[in-house]
Structure 1
């Protein structure tokens, strides 16, 4: 999961209340761990879904004066034209694909798995879904952006997830990842995949965080695309 850093702890997991027939893999933001998101999903979970909240490896982050902290890849700057850690993003995406593969081995097909994340984790979830050969059930992208956007071809992409449903959520008072980044990402996504499948929701007064309304929208999206198969 962690490239060269084998010390990252095992993911925080909210097991299904009965047999798991679907999964959500949700990636936390910079400097965080999976525990808080596991708690959040435990409060809105559905019985047949397993929620997996991995922890990022600890690494120096350029944006924070090279201080070490949990991070999926290096962040050099937050402006739209900032240099990006292309090698780190691509390696992190491979690690996420390995997590999906692990769940497939556990008996959950990839088309019954939603990838999601918050901020840096949401960025990684979007990038992974648009570059993987694993057919996924959807992407839950909270307060984030599309990394390496200039590396994608103009126009619609030809990948297994070109019709994937994406729910993007963003606070209109976000000081770290401004709402404009979210709306520009949404417009870019609509040129790449079926535009009818991209939903962009904003939350009045929400900063770089989550809220109950957003979690209920997330639950509705998850339950719609990962219905019980009993």
Structure 2
């Protein structure tokens, strides 16, 4: 699993940014740079952009694709597959490596775009509830997701959540994002939701500026 890293000279923490389906760490890095006009980086934080392994992907007719997990359909109304849990477990060495290099879990933020945002929620709320925060850009959870069960059963305060979604998203419908955020909020997750008019399934400079500000609030320089 290739990992692209933007390194800070004075590292206080790490942001892990998971790309969407069919993309790569290199691809999302270039896309972020194109939208921002500069690297998605922080003076005091490292940014890690892993690449999902290629695997058969059911919505693509079983063709190989760089996706974090398989799913039966791009829809809220299908069951989660076991591959979600498997991928979270496969990413444990990445978290362990960061911690062993001196970054405490409380200074790690997990997030991503689309499928990557979904993965980030599973990672943060099911497996690593002691991280600093979670951000989701144009993502969603399946109805009855195991993430909801994990949040409800949590014994410690769960990470805060930043959520952003375009109102004209043609792939991950806006109401899926709203429903996901509202369900997590009802279960006690503290966070903020940002919606954007005329934004389809894409990244947008304004939302990236907002998420960068939010990340810096969670782990101040």
Pairwise CA distance, 1:24: 0.2
Cα distance change of structure 1 residues 68 and 20 upon mapping to structure 2, 3 Å threshold:
same
Q: Does 1:20 align with 2:11?
A: yes
Q: Report the equivalent of 2:63.
A: 67
Pairwise CA distance, 1:174: 0.4
Corresponding pairs, count: 215
Question: With structure 1 as the length reference, what TM-score do the two structures score?
Answer: 0.87
Which secondary structure does the structure 2 equivalent of 1:199 belong to?
A: strand
Q: Does 1:91 align with 2:76?
A: no
Q: Does 1:132 align with 2:124?
A: no
Q: Report the equivalent of 1:178.
A: 173
Q: Report the equivalent of 1:199.
A: 192
Contact 1:30/1:121 (<8 A) preserved: yes
Question: With structure 2 as the length reference, what TM-score do the two structures score?
Answer: 0.90
Q: Does 1:221 align with 2:219?
A: no
Pairwise CA distance, 1:189: 0.6
Q: Does 1:45 align with 2:45?
A: no
Q: Which runs of 4+ in 1 moved over 6 A?
A: none
- Counterpart CA distance in 1 for 2:62 and 2:212 is 36
Cα distance change of structure 1 residues 133 and 45 upon mapping to structure 2, 3 Å threshold:
closer
- Counterpart CA distance in 2 for 1:129 and 1:61 is 24
C-alpha RMSD of matched pairs (Å): 1.9
Q: Does 1:146 align with 2:141?
A: yes
In structure 1, the gaps of 5 or more residues are 1-7
In structure 2, the gaps of 5 or more residues are none
